[in-house]
Amino acid sequence: MLPRTVTAILFDWDGTLCDSAAASLRAFRKSLAEFGVAFTDAEYKAVYTPRWYRMYQSLGLPEHCWERADQQWLHHYREEAPELLPGASEVLDLLRRREIQLGVVTNGTRGRIERELARLGLSSTFQAVVCCEDVTQIKPHPEGVEQALALLGCSRQACCYVGDAPEDIQAGKSARVLTVAVRSEYVDDHRLEACCPDAILANVEELPGILA
């Protein structure tokens, strides 16, 4: 159980609610192959971060190629149509019935996130959606989480942030909200555990079970 009652829950999007991790990996593999960069699943898992440029650097892509690689990733990712992770829709419905405020804080672009929310029928589900264009510093900086708190009118003490990457947990902790990590096959477990979240879940379906 979380140590205190929450009235608002903020979610990361990719890999936490949306089953986009495999699609993102495929898009990365295609885009970086165009620059002669190849990597294994294990190498990807070891360096994965929502901060693409840091990942490009770790995978050996020269800096002058980063912007073009971004464009290629978006091109290849548009060919994908990721769905919600198993149980995510039911969890969101349950939280809404409990009158818990919901928000998304993501390093993704607003155009992509809004398209995916609309396609999945979730455009009206979240009272706050904060994307990379809305902040001057992306996660792990807490600005996005703090902006979502302001949009919801929620106190830090009554909020938790749920994510699948170390940067999510770091952002939540820096914003002084409760943090919940969701394990992912594309993120090393030890990296998540090292961030000391308030709870670690095997999947998002377990979230209602830890709420007071």
Q: Where are the beta strands (DSSP E) in the chain?
A: 8-11, 101-105, 128-130, 159-163, 178-182, 199-201
Quote the CA–CA distance of 84 and 169 in Å, as a whole number. Answer: 21
* DSSP-derived secondary structure letter, 85: P
pLDDT tens across 63-88, in order? 999 999 999 998 999 888 899 999 99
pLDDT tens across 87-128, in order? 999 999 999 999 999 999 999 999 999 999 999 999 999 999
Type of residue numbered 209 = G
Beta carbons of 187 and 48 less than 8 angstroms apart: yes
Beta carbons of 192 and 166 less than 8 angstroms apart: yes
3-class DSSP state for residue 18?
strand
pLDDT value for 186: 84
pLDDT tens across 6-53, in order? 999 999 999 999 999 889 899 999 999 999 999 999 899 888 888 889
Beta carbons of 145 and 175 less than 8 angstroms apart: yes
Beta carbons of 85 and 12 less than 8 angstroms apart: no
Does residue 140 have a cis peptide bond before it, meaning omega lies within 30 degrees of 0? yes
Greatest Cα pair distance, the chain, in angstroms, is 50
Phi-psi label, residue 2: left if phi above 0, alpha if psi -120 to 50, beta otherwise: beta
Nearest to 126 by CA among 114, 136, 139, 142: 114
Tokens 């670690």 belong to: 200
pTM of the model: 0.90
